[in-house]
Structure 1
Amino acid sequence: MASAAAKQPARTASKAASGGTGGTGGTAGGAPAMPLASPLMGGLNKKKKPFLGVPAPLGYVPGLGRGATGFTTRSDIGPARDANDPVDDRHAPPGKRTVGDQMKKNQEDEEEDLNDTNYDEFNGYAGSLFSSGPYEKDDEEADAIYAALDKRMDERRKERRELREKEEIEKYRMERPKIQQQFSDLKRKLAEVTEDEWLSIPEVGDARNKRQRNPRHEKLTPVPDSFFAKHLQTGENHTSVDPLQGQFSGLATSFPGGLNTPYPGGMTPEAGELDMRKIGQARNTLMDMRLSQVTHHIAFNCKLNYFEESQKFLQSICWCLQVSDSVSGQTVVDPKGYLTDLNSMIPTHGGDISDIKKARLLLKSVRETNPHHPPAWIASARLEEVTGKLQVARNLIMKGTEMCPKSEDVWLEAARLQPGDTAKAVVAQAVRHLPQSVRIYISAAELETDIRAKKRVLRKALENVSKSVRLWKIAVELEEPEDARIMLSRAVECCPTSVELWLALARLETYENARRVLNKARENIPTDRHIWITAAKLEEANGNTQMVEKIIDRAITSLRANGVEINREQWIQDAEECDKAGSVATCQAVIRAVIGIGIEEEDCKHTWMEDADSCVSHGALECARAIYAHALQVFPSKKSVWLRAAYFEKNHGTRESLEALLQRAVAHCPKAEVLWLMGAKSKWLAGDVPAARSILALAFQANPNSEEIWLAAVKLESENNEYERARRLLAKARSSAPTARVFMKSVRLEWVLGNIEAAQELCTEALKHYEDFPKLWMMRGQIEEQSENIDKAREAYNQGLKKCPHSMSLWLLLSRLEERVGQLTRARAILEKARLKNPQTPEIWLESVRLEYRAGLKNIANTLMAKALQECPNSGILWAEAVFLEARPQRKTKSVDALKKCEHDPHVLLAVAKLFWSERKITKAREWFLRTVKIEPDLGDAWAFFYKFELQHGTEEQQQEVKKRCENAEPRHGELWCAESKHVLNWQKNIGEILVLVASKIKNTF
C-alpha cells in the first residue's frame, strides 16, 4: 500500500508535466511513448552517461544517420529549467514603446559614440548586430577559419609589401631626413667639448618681459602707517577685502606659507591708539623671514664652492689649536709640513666675514693660551695677510719673534712679510738669536742682490756652520773655477763624508791630483760606488783603458767587503749614464761585472735579452752591445741570440760590424740558413757580388740541398742579370732539391724573361708533382690569361679549385676573369660558391661587395656588406670598406663603429686616416698614417697612401722620410702593393720604385 501510494503522486506529476493524460505523442506504430524525466522520480535528477567517455556533439540525434525518425522529447533536450535559473529573455516578445522611448532611441542613433574606447576591431563602432545572441562553438570555429584565411591572404604578398614600404620609407627619409640624422656629426663633436667650454655656455633666458611671463603677477604695495591710523580711528578692525583689488583687509599680515596672523602679539589696540613700535616689529619679522629664505637659497649654492677653501682654512686653524705636550714639551705637529698647510688656506675668492672673525678669535685664544707656540703666530700673520691687513700681519709676526726667538720658521716668516731693507734687519736679528741656522743664512744670501754681498754672507755663514754641505754647494757655485777648487779643498776637509764635494773637487783637479782626491774619498767613504765609477771614467778619459776593468772589479770586491749589497739595476743605470757621457769602456766593464749577479742560470738568456731591449729603448747602445757580447760568450751555439745581435747591428750598427758578427755567427751556427743569407745580402747590397757568391757557396757546403740557399743564389744571379747562371742553378735545384717553390721560381723566371712556352712546360711538369700547390695553378691561369686564352685560363682556375678549394686567390682570379669578359651572373655564382665552401672568409665577402658596387648596384652592395659584417664582425678589411660605402655625413659614425670593433686593425686605421685626408684635416690624417705604419709596417698599401698624402700636403723632407722608412720596413703585403710588386714587368724594381709606382696609381676617389 505504501508503495502504491508513493507511485500515485509520481504518476500524476508526470501527467501534469506532459500536458495531459494522453502523453505528448507516440510512435508511428502506436507504441507507447517513453516516460518523461521528472525531478520527482526517486528524488534524483540522473544525467545521461556519455558514450565511451566522450560527450555527444551539439544537435546530435541518435539514429538520425540510419534514417530513423521520431519526436524530440524532453529526454533528448534535457531536464526542465530549475526555478533558480535566470530567465532567458532573448526571445521575449517586444514590449510596448512609448513616444519618449522612440525619440530617445532616434537621438542615440544620431549621436553615435565615435570614441576610440568604443571601437572594436571586428565589429567597428556600431557593435555587433547579433551581440545579444549566444556565442557558441560553431561561431568560434567559423571565426577561426575566417582568421586563418585572412592570415594566409596576408602572407601571400607580405614580403613584397614590406619591401615596397621599406623603399618608400627610405625614399622619404632621403628627401626629408630626421633632425637626428642631420645633426649626427655635430652631436659627435660635443664629445670634444671641454668642461670649461661647457660651463661657459650662457643659460637660455626668457626674452619676454615680466608681464608676459606672469600675466597674473601680483603687485604688492606696502601700506602706509597713515592708512592704518585712519581705519583704526573709524573702528573698522575686521574689514574683509579682495587682496587682488588692492583693498584693505583688516590688520592681518600675510606671512609666507599661508598663515594669516592678526595684529602682532595677539593684541588689538583700542580705537584711536597706534602702537608704532609693534608695527615695526611686525615688519621686521616679515622681512627677516623673507631674507632668511633667500639667504638659505644663496648660501646653499655658495657653500658648495666655498666648502673646499673653508675646509682647508679650518684644518689649518685646528692644527694651530694643538698645544704642546705638558710633559715632554714637544708638539705633535709635523714641523716641516705646516707651512704647506698654511699656503693652502689662501682662498681664491672672498671668504665669509663671520668665518674670518671666528678664525681670528680662535687664533687669539691659541696665542694667549700658549704664547710660545710658533705655528699660532705664523697662522695669525697669514690670516691677516689673506684678509689684506699686511701691517697687522707684520706687527703680529714681529711680536711672535719676541715670544719665540728660537724658532726658524717665525723668523723666516717675518723676513718674508717685511720689505727689503727691513727684511735684512730682521734676518740680521735672527742670526744673532740662531747663529747655527742654515736656512736663515740662505735667506739672508737670497735677500742680497749683489754677487759680492752674497759671497760675503755665505762665507760668514761657513765660518759659523762649516759642516753644512748645502752652504758649501751654494758658495762654490758662485765662485770661479780656481776659487771653487780652493773652496772645495776646504769643503772636503770640513765635510769628509760628502760624495758630491769629493767628486766636484776631482773634476776640477788635474789627472794626478784627481787620482789622489779619489783615493782619499774612497778612504773616507768606502761604501759608495760612484767614487769607483768616477775613478774608472777618469782612467778611460786619460787613455788607461786597461785599468778600467781592474777598477770595476776592485769596486765590486771592496763594496762587498764593506757589507754593501750589489744592486744590479742601479749598476746598469750607472752604466747607461756612462754610455751617454761617452765613457764606453767604463759602461762595458760595469755591464760585464754585474750582468750575471742575482740571476738563475735558466733565466739568464731571457733576462739578458730584456736588459738589452731596455738599454736600446733608453738610447744606451753600447750597453746593449756589451750585453749581447756577453750573452754570445755564454751561449755561443744559440741561434736566437745571434739573430737578435745581428738585427741589433743591422738597425743600430755599421755594415762592417754586422758582417763581422755574421762571420762569427756562421762559424758557431753553420746550420742557421738565415745567418748565411743575411751575410750574403749585406755583401750584395754593398755591391760586392763575388763575396756574396762565395758566402752562398760556403752555405751550400754547410747546408746541402737547402731550398732557401738555392733560391737566394738564384735571386742573386737574376738580380745581377746573370740569367743563364740562374737557369743552371734552378735546373740543378730541381734535380737535387725539387720543391714546389723551386718549380714556382723556375716558372716565374721564364715568364718574366718572356719565354712563355718554356714557362708553360715547366708549369705542367710542376703540376704533375705538386698539384695541391695553388700558386702553380694561379701562374698557369695568369699566363693563359696574358696570352688571351680565356677558355684555357678558366679551365686552369677551375682545375686548381678542384685541387685547392680553400685558396682564396684562385676564387678571386676566376671571379675577376668572368667579370672581365662580362659574365656578371657567373662571377656572382662563383663567389657565392666560394662563400659556401669557405664560410667566414672576409676576402670573399669583400670581393662580392665590390663586384656589385662596380656593377652599379649600390643597394645590393650595402645589403651584402651588412651580411658580411654579421658573419665576420671583427674583420678589419670589411669595416674599412664599409666606411666608404656610406654617404659622406655617415662616414664618421661608421668609422667610430669600426674602431670599436677593430681598434688595432691596420686596415681600419688606414681608413680613418683616409677619412681625415678627405676632410682636409692634414694634421690628424698624418697622425693616423703614422699610427698605421707603426702597428703594421708590412702593409704596403699603408705606405703607398702615406707617400701619396705627403706628395700632396708634405714637404720634400717628409716625403723622403716616408720613402726611407718604407725601404727599411720592406713591406710585402697589401692588395695594391702586391698587384704592382708581383707584376711581371716590375720584377726587377726595388722597394722605393714600387712605392712610387703604387702611389701614382692611387686616386683620391674616397
Structure 2
Amino acid sequence: MASNKNKLAFLSMPAPASYVAGLGRGASGFTTRSDIGPAREGPSAEVIAEAQAKRGEEPEIDPEQFQDPDNEYGLFAGTTYEQDDEEADKIYDDVDQKMDSRRRARRCARENAELAKHRAERPKIQQQFADLKRGLSVVTDQEWESIPEVGNLTRKKRRKDERTFVVPDSIIVGDRSKTEYENSLDTRQQQANGFETPADTGTMTNFVEIGQARDKILSLKLDQISGTATTSGSATSVDPKGYLTSLNSVVLKTEAEIGDIKRARMLFDSLVKSNPKHAPGWIAAACLEEHAGRMVAARKLIKAGCEQCPKSDDVWLEAARLHNNDDAKVILANAVQHVGQSVKIWLAAADLEQDVKSKKRVLRKALENIPNSVRLWKETVNLEESATDARILLSRAVEVIPLSVELWLALARLETPERAKAVLNKARKSVPTSHEIWIAAGRLLEQGAMGDPDKSTESRDKELELVDRTIEFGVRALRQHQVLLTREQWLKEAERCESDGSPRTCEAIIKATVSMEVEEEDRLDTWVGDAESAEARGMVGTARAVLAYALKVFPDQRNLWRKAADLEKAHGTKESLDGVLSQAVHYCPQAEVLWLMSAKEKWLAGDVPAAREVLEKAFIANPESEQIWLAAVKLEAENGELGVARELLVRARTVADTERIWMKSAVFERQQGQYAAALETVSTALSKFPKFAKLYMIQGQIRQMEKQYSSARASYAAGLKACPKEITLWVLASKLEELDGKSIKARALLEKGRLVNPANEILWAESVGVEERSGGAAQAKAMLARGLQECPTSGLLWSMSIWAEPRPTRKSRSVDALKKSKDNPLITCTVARLFWTERKIEKARQWFSRSVATEQDKDIGDHWGWWLKFERQHGTPEYVEEVIRQGAAAEPHHGPVWQAIAKDDKNVGKSTKGLLAMVADALQ
C-alpha cells in the first residue's frame, strides 16, 4: 500500500521545469490545446544537445557557422590577397576577353546562318505575305469593297436559332383525315365501273394530276440542260438524241468534290484579284471552271486573263484551246499583236488551219516576224511538196541562220553530190565547231564512191581513202577549235553511221578516234572490250573496225586474231572469214588453231585441195605439231585417201612422237579392221607411254571384240594398276565382267574403284546400273541413296533418282533435284522429259531449250538427241530442222549414248547431223 501511495504521489507531483515529454525518444516538445494560454517555452539548444549526447547522436554542424563573411569562399579562403594575385586575375580576365572576341565573329556568323536557314525553312506569316502586303498599296477603295467574304471555314456547326411557329389548322385537319376510313361509296365510281374502292387508303388517288406534275418536272429539267433546248416564246423543242448524249456527258460530282471546287474557286478568285498580272493564276482558274463544267465562266476568266497578261503566250494558247476553231483563230490573231515574237503562238495558229495553203501563209507570215527561228523554218520546209521549193527555202534559211547545223545538213541532203560538197564547205566555215558537218561530208563522199557501179575498184578505193582523210582532218580541225568530244561520243557517232548505212564512215571515225584517252598499257584490253560491247549491241561493223585497228597495232596477238575470226564466222561471209584467217596465219604462223580453222573452213566449203595446201604450209611453220598432223590425217581419211593417211601417221610418229599420235594410229588401224596391226601399235606405244590410259582401253576393247575375255581382263587390270584414277577404265573393266556373266566381280571392281576415287558420280551410277541389271531393285535403290549421300549435288544421280520414283512423286523429286544440283543440265533435261510424259508440249520445249543454253551444256549430245526425238513426235518439220541445225552447229562430244555411237567404228566419217539422228533413234 505504501508503494502504491508513493506512486500516486509521484504522478501528482508537478513536472520539472526542463521536462519535455518524449525527449528521450527524440521529441523536441509539442503544444496542445490546453497549453494555449500560459504556454511555456521549449527546451533550449543546450538541453537538446545534452539529451542527444546521452543517446550517442552527433550534433549537426552548420557549414556556414564558421564562415567569415568578409573572406571569400574556396580553397584559398583566409589567405592574403596580394598585388600579384590581383595582377594575375587581370591577366586571366584579359585572356578570357581576347578569346571571347576571337570566337565572337565565328559564333555570330554561325548563329546568323542558322537563323537564316531556319527562317528560310519556316518563314513567318508576315514574310510569306510581304509581297502581297506591298501590293495592297495600289488597291483602290472600290476593290477593297468588292473583296468577297471568305465564309465560315472552321467546319463548326452553327447554332440554329430555336424558333417556333403556329401550326395551321389545315395541317391538323389533314393529319386527322389520314386516319379516317371511307364508309360510303363514290357515286361516280358506281355509275362508271360499279363498286370500286381504293385498295389501301380511304381516299381516291388522282393519277391524271400525278402524270401532269411528272411531265412538268421533266420539261423543267430539259429546259435546264444547255445546248439541247431551243426556246421560242413559250414553246420548247428538244432533240431527243442530243438530250440523251448530253445526259451521258453529265458528270455527277459528290458533295466533297463540290466543296473542294468552291474553296478552290474562292482561292483562285483571291489570287487573280490580288495579283492580276500572274498568268498561271488565270490559267488555273479557267481550268477549274472547265473541270466544273462551266465553260462560259472559264472563257470569261481566260478572256480577263488575256486582258491582264497580254504578254504571256500561255494565256493566249489556253484561251484558244477553250474556244472553238473560228474563235481560236481570232484570239490568236489578237495574240500576235501583243506577242508577235512567240513561236508557239504562230505554230498554234498554223495548226488551226485546215488546208496546206493556209498553213503555208501563216508560217511565212511568222517567218517575216521571227526570221531566226529554226523550228519555223523546219515546219515551213516540211510543208513543201517539191524538192526545188524546199531547197530554195533552205537556202534562204541558212542565209538568215548561218549557225544552224540542222538547216545546213537538210540543204545538203536535198542538193546534188557536187552542190552538197559546196554546201558543206560553206557550213564548215560558218560553224567550224560542228562535228556533224564533218561526218556528213564523209558520208557524202562514201555515197559518191559506192553509188556508181561502173567505177573501177582502184578509183573506188581512192575515194574511200578520201573518206578516211576527211574524217581525220575533221578531228584535227575540231581540236584546233577546242571542240573535244570524248572517246565514247565518237564511238556512238560511229555506231550511228553504221545504223544509217555508212560503214566506211564508221570505220574512218574508229580509225581516227579509237586510240584517244587510252593509256598505252591498257590499249589491248580496252579495244577488245569496245569490240565485245559493240557486238553485243548488234553493231558488227563497229566491232569489226575496232578489231581491225587493234590488229594493226598488235599483229602478233593470236587471241585477237581468234576474236576477229569468230566475229567473221558469226556475222561475216566466207570470203571475209577466209581473208581474216589468211592474214592471221601470216602474222601468227605458230598459232596452230588459226591454221586448223583456215583448213577446216576451206574443207567445209568443199575445197579439199586448198585445205591440203593450208595444212602443208602449217607443216612448214609447225613441223612437230600433233594437231596439224592429226588434222591432215583426218582430212585424207574422210576423203578416202587411206594410204596417204596411214603414211602421214607413220611420218607423224617419227616427227612428232606423242602419245596422242600413237593412240590415233591404233584407232585408225582398228577402224580399218586391222586388229593385229592395232594391237602391235598399242604394244609399242605402251612401252613408250605406260601411263597413258587410253592405250589400255583400246587394247582391252580390241581383245573384247575378239572374245578374248581373259586377255582383255589382263589389259584392264594393267591399266588400273598404272592409272587408278582413270574412271573409264573402272567402268570398262566392270562391263567386261558383266558381259562374262560375273556380276559379283563387277560389283567388287566398282566398290574398289569407289574406294580409290571417292565421291565420283559415274562410278556410283554404274554401281546402280549393275544392281538394276542384276534384278535387285531394292539393292539399286539403296545404292542410289548411298550415292546421293556421298555426292549430294550430282545431276546424274538425281536424274536416276527421279526416274526411280513412282509417277506421282517424280515432280516433287525433280524440285528437290533442281535445288540440290543448282540447275544441272541433266536435271533440266529430265524435267523436260517429265513435261513430255505429261503432254505439256510448250513447257517441255522450253526446258529442252534450257538444257542446251550455255556453251558447256551444248557439248552434251544426249540432250540434243532427246530434243530431236521430242520434236519428231510433237513438233513441226520447221522445229525439227531448227533442232538439227543448232545441234550440228554445237558439235557435241559428250554423253553416254552419243559417245557410244560416235566412237563406234561403223560410224566413222559420219556427219554430226547423221550422228544426231542415230542418237535420237537409240534413246529410250
| Paired amino acid for 1:929 | F
Distance in 1 between the 2:578 and 2:471 partners?
A: 31
The aligned residue for residue 846 of structure 1 is: 765
Within the candidate set 969, 979, 982, 2:890 is matched to: 969
The aligned residue for residue 166 of structure 2 is: none
Matched, 1:576 2:495: yes
Distance in 1 between the 2:736 and 2:806 partners?
A: 30
CA contact (8 A) 1:904 1:935 kept: no
CA contact (8 A) 1:906 1:935 kept: no
- Classify the secondary structure of the residue corresponding to 1:934: coil
| Paired amino acid for 1:689 | V
CA displacement, residues 827-881 of structure 1 (integer Å, 9 cap, x when unaligned): 3333333222212222223333444455565555454444434433333333444
- Classify the secondary structure of the residue corresponding to 1:542: helix
Distance in 2 between the 1:997 and 1:350 partners?
A: 79
CA displacement, residues 358-379 of structure 1 (integer Å, 9 cap, x when unaligned): 3333333333332332222333
CA displacement, residues 37-66 of structure 1 (integer Å, 9 cap, x when unaligned): xxxxxxxxxxxxxxxxxxxxxxxxxxxxxx
The aligned residue for residue 368 of structure 1 is: 273
Report the TM-score, using the length of structure 1 for normalisation. Answer: 0.62
Structure 2 residue ranges without an equivalent (≥5) = 1-250, 450-462
Distance in 2 between the 1:348 and 1:969 partners?
A: 67
Structure 1 residue ranges without an equivalent (≥5) = 1-345
Change (3 A) 1:524 1:877: farther
CA contact (8 A) 2:623 2:655 kept: no
The aligned residue for residue 948 of structure 1 is: 869
- Classify the secondary structure of the residue corresponding to 1:935: coil
Distance in 2 between the 1:519 and 1:841 partners?
A: 75
Q: 1:260-271 alignment to 2 at 5 Å?
A: none
Q: Between 928-937 and 515-524, report the one with greater CA deviation.
A: 928-937
Within the candidate set 734, 758, 761, 1:815 is matched to: 734
Q: 1:172-187 alignment to 2 at 5 Å?
A: none
The aligned residue for residue 399 of structure 1 is: 304
The aligned residue for residue 498 of structure 1 is: 404
CA displacement, residues 684-718 of structure 1 (integer Å, 9 cap, x when unaligned): 22333333333322322222222112211211111
The aligned residue for residue 533 of structure 1 is: 439
Change (3 A) 1:491 1:862: farther
Q: 1:874-893 alignment to 2 at 5 Å?
A: 874-893=793-812
Distance in 1 between the 2:827 and 2:466 partners?
A: 58
Matched, 1:673 2:592: yes
The aligned residue for residue 647 of structure 1 is: 566
Matched, 1:599 2:504: no
CA RMSD for the aligned pairs? 2.7
- Classify the secondary structure of the residue corresponding to 2:470: helix
- Classify the secondary structure of the residue corresponding to 2:852: helix
Q: Between 770-779 and 496-505, report the one with greater CA deviation.
A: 770-779
Distance in 1 between the 2:781 and 2:336 partners?
A: 86
Distance in 2 between the 1:850 and 1:399 partners?
A: 95
Change (3 A) 1:836 1:470: same
- Classify the secondary structure of the residue corresponding to 2:609: helix
Matched, 1:622 2:541: yes
Change (3 A) 1:923 1:349: farther
Change (3 A) 1:367 1:895: farther
Matched, 1:789 2:695: no
The aligned residue for residue 363 of structure 2 is: 458
CA displacement, residues 226-269 of structure 1 (integer Å, 9 cap, x when unaligned): xxxxxxxxxxxxxxxxxxxxxxxxxxxxxxxxxxxxxxxxxxxx
Matched, 1:726 2:640: no
Change (3 A) 1:817 1:451: farther
Change (3 A) 1:407 1:668: same
* C-alpha displacement of 1:657: 3.0
Within the candidate set 815, 821, 829, 2:748 is matched to: 829
Q: 1:900-911 alignment to 2 at 5 Å?
A: 900-903=819-822, 905-911=824-830
Distance in 2 between the 1:348 and 1:980 partners?
A: 79
Distance in 1 between the 2:873 and 2:479 partners?
A: 64
The aligned residue for residue 212 of structure 2 is: none
| Paired amino acid for 2:414 | L
Matched, 1:484 2:390: yes
Report the TM-score, using the length of structure 2 for normalisation. Answer: 0.67
The aligned residue for residue 472 of structure 2 is: 553
- Classify the secondary structure of the residue corresponding to 1:877: helix
Distance in 2 between the 1:681 and 1:347 partners?
A: 79
* C-alpha displacement of 1:804: 1.5
The aligned residue for residue 421 of structure 1 is: 326
Within the candidate set 374, 379, 383, 2:288 is matched to: 383
Distance in 1 between the 2:801 and 2:346 partners?
A: 73
The aligned residue for residue 991 of structure 1 is: 912
* C-alpha displacement of 1:783: 2.0
| Paired amino acid for 2:556 | S
Q: 1:440-455 alignment to 2 at 5 Å?
A: 440-455=345-360
Change (3 A) 1:507 1:981: same
The aligned residue for residue 125 of structure 2 is: none
Change (3 A) 1:374 1:992: same
| Paired amino acid for 1:489 | S
Distance in 1 between the 2:870 and 2:628 partners?
A: 39
- Classify the secondary structure of the residue corresponding to 1:648: helix
Distance in 1 between the 2:820 and 2:375 partners?
A: 58
Change (3 A) 1:834 1:529: same
Change (3 A) 1:460 1:853: farther
The aligned residue for residue 425 of structure 2 is: 519
CA displacement, residues 743-780 of structure 1 (integer Å, 9 cap, x when unaligned): 21111111111122222222223223223222122222
Distance in 1 between the 2:568 and 2:515 partners?
A: 23
Distance in 1 between the 2:746 and 2:253 partners?
A: 74
| Paired amino acid for 2:432 | P
| Paired amino acid for 1:575 | A
Distance in 2 between the 1:562 and 1:715 partners?
A: 62
Q: 1:321-336 alignment to 2 at 5 Å?
A: none
Change (3 A) 1:747 1:349: farther
| Paired amino acid for 1:503 | L
CA displacement, residues 460-502 of structure 1 (integer Å, 9 cap, x when unaligned): 2222222111222222222122222121112212222211111
Distance in 2 between the 1:348 and 1:911 partners?
A: 62
CA contact (8 A) 2:703 2:709 kept: yes
Distance in 2 between the 1:609 and 1:501 partners?
A: 38
Distance in 1 between the 2:535 and 2:701 partners?
A: 47
CA displacement, residues 946-979 of structure 1 (integer Å, 9 cap, x when unaligned): 3233323333333323322322222222222212
CA contact (8 A) 1:556 1:566 kept: no
| Paired amino acid for 1:989 | K
